[in-house]
């Protein structure tokens, strides 16, 4: 699985974000950054990708689970990419399991490919 960076929170989990804002302000640009579009990436992966997942509410695993065949699951390397600062801020208020369940954590879109190319961010594998 390869992952493509989000611009930040996108439109995911704002009920939880609002609750955290009651405890601590955050005004980084990645909180309200527009959702990144991945059309050019999708076109470049045509013929190579076996599945795509746009990471919305439900987090990475929840959205990847929708595109995998029954009996298969994603095994992520959660340290394979750098999280935008907004997620470090959220992590001070929300436990890791909930962060993973609700947010994209810096990966806005994923592709399942047979072999990654040099320079692509490998975030895990399908088991």
Total domains in the fold of the chain: 1
pLDDT of amino acid 11: 86
Query: Is the overall model pTM greater than 0.85, yes or no?
Result: yes
The CATH code of the domain that includes 22 is 3.90.650.10
Instruction: For 54-100, write each residue's pLDDT tens digit.
Output: 998 899 999 999 999 999 999 999 999 999 999 999 999 999 999 99
Provide the 3-class DSSP secondary structure of residue 111: strand
Percent of the chain with pLDDT over 90: 96
- pLDDT confidence of residue 26: 96
33: left (phi > 0), else alpha (psi -120 to 50), else beta? beta
3-class secondary-structure state, position 8: coil
The region, left, alpha or beta by phi > 0 then psi within -120 to 50, assigned to residue 77 is beta
Q: Which domain holds residue 118?
A: 2-126
């Amino acid at each position: 699985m390869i992952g493509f960076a989000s611009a930040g929170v996108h439109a995911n989990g704002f009920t939880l974000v609002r609750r955290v804002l009651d405890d601590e302000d955050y005004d980084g640009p990645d909180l309200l950054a527009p959702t990144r579009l991945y059309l050019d990436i999708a076109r470049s992966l045509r013929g190579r990708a076996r599945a795509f997942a746009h990471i919305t509410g439900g987090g990475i695993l929840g959205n990847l689970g929708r595109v995998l065949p029954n009996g298969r699951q994603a095994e992520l390397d959660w340290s394979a990419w750098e999280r935008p600062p907004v997620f470090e801020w959220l992590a001070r208020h929300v436990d890791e399991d909930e962060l993973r369940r609700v947010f994209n954590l810096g990966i806005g879109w994923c592709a399942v490919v047979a072999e990654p190319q040099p320079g692509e961010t490998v975030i895990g594998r399908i088991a």
